[in-house]
């Protein structure tokens, strides 16, 4: 039997406890031993969580879990950096294995945590930290272990995908879609992490570490959110045959790796374009396996609990095996050791969508296209709708592949033109070049 203790009895803690209690016999039948939920710690042990617990299981003191010699695995589900980090380090130093759903912590402090776990010969499982119920960590670590990973493209923030889907389907503006996401409880009370790409960047840092065997590199991820996208951009993207998605991209490129989160135009007929609402999906391209796609619920008590329990079972199996054989598992933690460098955003190449806000008068298009041409940025399509002589109107330009460093310079120059009334917005475009 394996004893576990949960610290943090909120959304994910409750889902995890429910699964461990209600599916106990199903899990035991599959794995051949019992997982016993011995203790749950939370700051508030009076609040009803809609779940019937065995007598005496709740405690307000996390140390009762961390110092209990019978507990094999500590499950951290409080979120945030502090005191989650200190609790995890204490568990590790007490020779307990750890399972966490804490993407922010793993993405920013994971290198230190894994090093400490290696030192003490224990495991750290973080399946639930990326894409909730989709077992993407296991897929990257095991299912695709034979592959060089060419690229990973993920819709890994449900809130922003819900907002973009609402804007696309109903033509509403960002602020109204965000309010709806908050009303339905998808967005955080402070949704900054969701809409500014930070949550996706945490998850991308974790995925990229597994894909490219590099340390967790959250600070090196380029982050851009969806707050500047208008329903007009979504409409123009549609006319051009694209959908706008907040993509988290990790890509092998010229001996380096690109790590970026930004709104991206994706051809409408690509499967990932059809991932709508709060759903998540991750496309992984390996050199042996080719194209693969994983889809499911990226959040919520039960999907995330499902991922937490899968880590508990994996670690539990190793503990039981080593108890039976008397030999401790050697592959306790996989420390990423590649020295592969991350490419700066200015060094990438992509196709681009530009929304210029220009005064509607003769010669404007040639002024703008002249600047683009002088930076080797070649145009594939232009859209300008309606006539409002002398007024500022959107002028949409789609380009062939260009260098981001040229785009940065060209936009700076165009935004200084007297015919341009507002800051230019640009969106990177994925897909095959026409
Ligand atoms: P919640 O806020 O719902 O739950 C956290 C719980 O931990 C709360 O009950 C909180 O109490 C309690 N807590 C806070 N500090 C302590 C402490 N020092 N000791 C004991 N208990 C404490 O968060 P979630 O369940 O939503 O998230 C948990 C983790 O899972 C986070 O890292 C999150 O990023 C991750 N995650 C969440 C998903 C989701 O769908 N919710 C999906 C994927 C990952 P109080 O409320 O009183 O502060
Ligand atoms: N806020 C996150 C999301 C929760 O919207 O995807 C799951 O990590």
ω into 371 cis (within 30 of 0): no
Give mean pLDDT, residues 143-166.
97
Q: How confident is the model at residue 7 (pLDDT cuts 50, 70, 90)?
A: very high
Residue 388 is predicted with a pLDDT of 76
* 8 Å CB contact between 92 and 117: yes
Between the CA of residue 102 and those of 39, 76, 127, 211, what are the distances in Å? Answer: 20, 8, 10, 19
pLDDT beyond 90 at 189: no
Report CA(42)–ligand 1 centroid distance (Å).
Answer: 9
Q: How confident is the model at residue 332 (pLDDT cuts 50, 70, 90)?
A: low
% of the chain beyond a pLDDT of 70:
98
CATH superfamily of 2-130+300-325: NAD(P)-binding Rossmann-like Domain (3.40.50.720)
Please work out whether the CB of residue 299 comes within 6 Å of at least one atom of ligand 1: yes
The rounded Cα 370 to chain-centroid distance in angstroms is 39
Residue 385 is predicted with a pLDDT of 77
Residue nearest to atom 34 of ligand 1 (CA): 102
The rounded Cα 373 to chain-centroid distance in angstroms is 36
pLDDT digits over 160-175, tens only?
Answer: 999 999 999 999 999 9
CATH class in words for 348-429: alpha beta
Residue of 53 and 386 predicted with greater confidence = 53
Residue 187 is predicted with a pLDDT of 78
How far is 44 from 64, CA to CA, in rounded Å?
15
pLDDT beyond 80 at 300: yes
Residue corresponding to tokens 């988290």:
248
Residue 183 is predicted with a pLDDT of 85
**Least confident window among 118-127, 198-207, 321-330:** 321-330
* 8 Å CB contact between 424 and 354: yes
Q: Which ligand is nearest to the CA of 129?
A: 1
Residue of 325 and 60 predicted with greater confidence = 60
Between the CA of residue 296 and those of 20, 104, 201, 276, what are the distances in Å? Answer: 21, 21, 19, 11
Residues annotated catalytic, as ranges: 203
Residue 192 is predicted with a pLDDT of 96
pLDDT digits over 204-244, tens only?
Answer: 999 999 999 999 999 999 999 999 999 999 999 999 999 99
Q: How confident is the model at residue 59 (pLDDT cuts 50, 70, 90)?
A: very high
Please work out whether the CB of residue 8 comes within 6 Å of at least one atom of ligand 1: yes
**Mean pLDDT of all residues belonging to the chain:** 95
Residue 330 is predicted with a pLDDT of 62
pLDDT beyond 90 at 139: yes
Q: Which ligand is nearest to the CA of 155?
A: 2
Please work out whether the CB of residue 199 comes within 6 Å of at least one atom of ligand 1: no
pLDDT digits over 417-426, tens only?
Answer: 999 999 999 9
pLDDT beyond 70 at 29: yes
pLDDT digits over 97-126, tens only?
Answer: 999 999 999 999 999 999 999 999 999 999
How far is 154 from 139, CA to CA, in rounded Å?
14
Give mean pLDDT, residues 15-19.
98
How far is 414 from 320, CA to CA, in rounded Å?
65
Q: How confident is the model at residue 329 (pLDDT cuts 50, 70, 90)?
A: low
Report CA(67)–ligand 2 centroid distance (Å).
Answer: 32
Report CA(11)–ligand 1 centroid distance (Å).
Answer: 7
Residue 184 is predicted with a pLDDT of 83
**Least confident window among 174-183, 199-208, 319-328:** 319-328
Residue nearest to atom 45 of ligand 1 (CA): 43
pTM of the model: 0.97
Tell me how crowded residue 1 is: count the other CB atoms within 10 A of its CB: 12
Report CA(125)–ligand 1 centroid distance (Å).
Answer: 17
Instruction: Extract the tokens encoding 224.
Output: 């851009």
Q: Helix (H, G, I), strand (E, B), or coil: what is residue 129?
A: helix
Report CA(80)–ligand 1 centroid distance (Å).
Answer: 8
Residue 374 is predicted with a pLDDT of 98
Please work out whether the CB of residue 194 comes within 6 Å of at least one atom of ligand 2: yes
Mutate to test the pocket of ligand 1, among 11, 125, 194, 207 (most ligand atoms within 8 A of CB): 11
Q: How confident is the model at residue 42 (pLDDT cuts 50, 70, 90)?
A: very high
Residue 432 is predicted with a pLDDT of 85
CATH class in words for 136-297: alpha beta
Please work out whether the CB of residue 158 comes within 6 Å of at least one atom of ligand 2: yes
> So where are the chain's domains?
2-130+300-325, 136-297, 348-429
Q: What is the per-residue burial (b if ≥16 Cβ within 10 Å, else e) of 361-395?
A: eeebbeebbebbeebebebeeeeeeeeeeeeebbb
Q: Which ligand is nearest to the CA of 182?
A: 2
Please work out whether the CB of residue 45 comes within 6 Å of at least one atom of ligand 1: no
Please work out whether the CB of residue 101 comes within 6 Å of at least one atom of ligand 1: yes
């Amino acid at each position: 039997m394996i004893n576990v203790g949960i610290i943090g009895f909120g959304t994910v803690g409750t889902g995890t406890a429910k699964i461990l209690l209600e599916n106990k016999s199903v899990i035991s039948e599959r794995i051949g031993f019992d997982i016993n939920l011995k203790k749950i710690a939370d700051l508030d042990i009076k609040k009803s969580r809609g779940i019937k617990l065995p007598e005496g299981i709740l405690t307000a003191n996390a140390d009762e879990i961390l110092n209990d010699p019978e507990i094999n695995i500590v499950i951290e589900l409080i979120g945030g950096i502090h005191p989650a980090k200190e609790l995890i380090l204490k568990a590790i130093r007490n020779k307990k294995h750890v399972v966490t759903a804490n993407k922010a912590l793993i993405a920013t402090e994971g290198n230190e945590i894994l090093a400490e776990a290696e030192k003490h010969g224990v495991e750290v499982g973080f399946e639930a930290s990326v894409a909730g119920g989709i077992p993407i960590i296991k897929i990257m670590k095991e299912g695709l272990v034979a592959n060089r990973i060419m690229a990973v493209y993920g819709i890994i923030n449900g809130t922003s995908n819900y907002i973009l889907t609402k804007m696309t389907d109903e033509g509403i503006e960002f602020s109204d879609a965000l309010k709806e996401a908050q009303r339905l409880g998808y967005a955080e009370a402070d949704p900054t992490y969701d809409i500014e790409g930070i949550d996706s960047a945490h998850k991308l840092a974790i995925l990229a570490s597994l894909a490219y065997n590099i340390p967790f590199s959250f600070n090196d991820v380029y982050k851009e959110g969806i707050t500047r996208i208008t329903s007009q951009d979504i409409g123009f993207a549609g006319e051009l045959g694209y959908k706008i998605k907040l993509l988290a991209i990790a890509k092998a490129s010229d001996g380096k790796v690109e790590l970026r989160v930004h709104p991206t135009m994706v051809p409408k007929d690509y499967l990932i374009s059809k991932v709508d609402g709060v759903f998540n999906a991750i496309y992984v391209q390996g050199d042996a396996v080719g194209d693969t796609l994983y889809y499911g619920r990226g959040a919520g008590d039960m999907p995330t609990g499902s991922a937490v329990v899968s880590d508990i079972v994996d670690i539990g199996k190793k503990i039981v095996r080593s108890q039976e054989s008397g030999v401790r598992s050697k592959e306790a933690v996989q420390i990423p050791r590649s020295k592969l460098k991350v490419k700066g955003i200015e060094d990438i190449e992509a196709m681009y969508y530009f929304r210029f806000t220009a005064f509607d008068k003769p010669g404007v298009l040639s002024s703008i296209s002249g600047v683009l041409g002088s930076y080797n940025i070649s145009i594939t399509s232009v859209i300008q709708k309606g006539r409002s002589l002398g007024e500022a109107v959107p002028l949409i330009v789609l380009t062939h592949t260009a260098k981001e460093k040229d785009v940065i310079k060209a936009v700076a120059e165009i935004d200084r033109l007297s015919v341009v009334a507002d800051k230019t917005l640009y969106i990177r475009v994925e897909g095959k070049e026409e």
